């Protein structure tokens, strides 16, 4: 087993509402990111995947958002206990972040060059001039033509794909150990999407960093991840190496998700498999299995939370007896 860059243990992140109630958007999430690997976090909107990412880098909206419990072990240091100054060093330095919408991630008032240099000056102590030269290098690396001209342009002068390349250049500027990419290609077109994903993969191989790729697109996960974490309603329901998750998904939710997408091989106009119902509102979440809640099942599984168990090497599943086949759970001690 290789060493882990990041280990998230039993993370609970909650938001305090105006009436004083705490809503747990992330409710006991554990996973790890081995060195040099890409871990994909997949789930539907509102399942807590972005909040998990925000908790790792300490970017939760204040004052409502708090990490209540758990650890975020990054190279042996618990980031959930780190102070403001330390997190400032980590973000953009040791952990790079790419968000979904490149237009909002970039400052419209500053030139591209300045925005890339900022991190280099802050984290690596370069002079303005050195930083600008490095910025041109980085733009070239992320495949932007005529970088020496582009550094002097503003974000609005670039297309969506180009802007996302700039955001990636910023995230990679300080050669981070971990890159967190939250839906990096969702706002982009398919042909541009594949360019960006390939670019991220190439740069990752070159720099030996680890990546967390957050997406709702199982196609993206299949092509670009080593391990997959499936989240549902604030929890991890299944976690396994990528081939295993597609070849033998064990949790009913993972199966439902995989069966629901039409592929080019699905017979035309045939009925698609669906997952009935919808995710319950966060205020109504049960303590037990939330997928049983969606299926409107009754009984014990709603009241008691099932343990997260390893059913084969590196393949973990939330062991709800109604969502996972019994024969699988029998072999677990």
Partner 1 sequence: MNDPILAIRDLKMHFPVKGGVFSQQVAVVKAVDGVSLDVGRGETLGLVGESGCGKSTLGKSIVRLLNPTAGNIEFEGADITHLSQSALRPIRRNMQMVFQDPAESLNSRLSVGQIIAEPLEVQGIGTRATRREMVEQLLDRVGMPKSAAQRFSFEFSGGQRQRIGIARALALNPDLIVLDEPVSALDVSVQSQVLNLLLDLQEDMNLAYLFIAHDLAVVKHISDRVAVMYLGKIVELADADTIYKNPKHAYTKALISAIPTPDPTVPKDLVRLEGEIPSPINPPKGSAFGHRISHPRYEETIGMDLSMIEIGPDHWVAADPCCLSDEDYAKVR
Q: Which residues bind partner 1 (CB under 8 A)?
A: 44-45, 159-162, 189-195, 197-198, 216-223, 242-243, 246-247, 256-258, 260-264, 266, 268-275, 278
For residue 288, the 8-state DSSP code is S
Identify the helix (H) or strand (E) that includes residue 223: helix 218-224
73-82 LR contacts (CB < 8 Å, sep 24+): 73/4, 73/6, 73/7, 73/8, 73/9, 74/5, 74/6, 74/178, 75/5, 75/177, 80/11, 80/55, 82/58
Which is closer to partner 1, CB of 90 or CB of 240? 240
118 φ, ψ (degrees, to nearest 5):
-45, -55
Please state, in angstroms and rounded to a whole number, the distance separating the CA atoms of residues 230 and 53: 14
Min separation Cβ 170 and partner 1, Å: 20
Question: If phi over 0 gives left and psi between -120 and 50 gives alpha, with beta otherwise, what is residue 125?
Answer: left
Min separation Cβ 72 and partner 1, Å: 27
Sheet order of strands, 4-16 included: 22-34, 4-16, 65-74, 77-78
59-64 LR contacts (CB < 8 Å, sep 24+): 59/91, 59/97, 60/13, 61/15, 63/16, 64/15, 64/16, 64/17
Min separation Cβ 223 and partner 1, Å: 5
Min separation Cβ 4 and partner 1, Å: 22
Please state, in angstroms and rounded to a whole number, the distance separating the CA atoms of residues 239 and 173: 31
Please state, in angstroms and rounded to a whole number, the distance separating the CA atoms of residues 200 and 215: 14
Which is closer to partner 1, CB of 95 or CB of 142? 142
Which is closer to partner 1, CB of 43 or CB of 119? 43
Min separation Cβ 14 and partner 1, Å: 22
Which is closer to partner 1, CB of 45 or CB of 298? 45
Structure-token pair, residue 61: 């909206």
Min separation Cβ 61 and partner 1, Å: 21
ω into 248 cis (within 30 of 0):
no
Min separation Cβ 332 and partner 1, Å: 25
For residue 306, the 8-state DSSP code is P
Please state, in angstroms and rounded to a whole number, the distance separating the CA atoms of residues 333 and 324: 15
Which is closer to partner 1, CB of 75 or CB of 255? 255
Which is closer to partner 1, CB of 62 or CB of 313? 313
Which is closer to partner 1, CB of 189 or CB of 206? 189
Min separation Cβ 309 and partner 1, Å: 24
Which is closer to partner 1, CB of 54 or CB of 144? 144
């Amino acid at each position: 087993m290789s060493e882990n860059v990041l280990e998230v243990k039993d993370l609970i992140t909650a938001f305090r509402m105006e009436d004083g109630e705490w809503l747990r958007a992330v409710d006991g999430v554990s996973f790890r990111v081995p060195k040099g690997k890409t871990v994909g976090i997949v789930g539907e909107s509102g399942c807590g995947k972005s909040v998990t990412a925000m908790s790792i880098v300490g970017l939760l909206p204040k004052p409502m958002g708090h990490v209540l419990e758990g650890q975020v072990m990054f190279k042996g240091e618990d980031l959930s206990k780190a102070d403001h100054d330390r997190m400032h060093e980590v973000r953009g330095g040791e952990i790079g972040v790419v968000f979904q919408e490149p237009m909002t991630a970039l400052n419209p008032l500053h030139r591209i060059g300045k925005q890339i240099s900022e991190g280099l000056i802050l984290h690596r102590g370069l002079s303005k001039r050195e930083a600008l030269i490095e910025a041109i290098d980085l733009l070239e690396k992320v495949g932007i033509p005529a970088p020496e001209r582009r550094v002097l342009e503003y974000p609005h002068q670039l297309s969506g794909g180009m802007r996302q390349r700039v955001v990636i250049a910023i995230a990679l500027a300080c050669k981070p150990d971990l890159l967190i990419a939250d839906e990096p290609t969702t706002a982009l077109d398919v042909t541009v999407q594949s360019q960006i994903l390939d670019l991220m993969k190439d740069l990752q191989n070159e720099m030996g960093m680890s990546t967390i790729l957050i997406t709702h697109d199982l196609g993206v996960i299949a092509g670009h991840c080593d391990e997959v974490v499936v989240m549902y309603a604030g929890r991890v329901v299944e976690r396994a190496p990528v081939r295993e998750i597609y070849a033998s998904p064990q949790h009913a939710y993972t199966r439902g998700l995989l069966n629901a997408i039409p592929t080019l091989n699905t017979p035309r106009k045939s009925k698609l498999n669906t997952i009935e119902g919808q995710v319950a509102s966060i205020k109504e979440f049960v303590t037990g299995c939330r997928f049983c809640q969606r299926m409107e099942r009754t009984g014990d599984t709603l009241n008691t939370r099932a343990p997260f168990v390893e059913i084969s090497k590196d393949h973990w599943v939330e062991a709800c007896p109604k969502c996972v086949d019994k024969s699988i759970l029998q072999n677990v001690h």
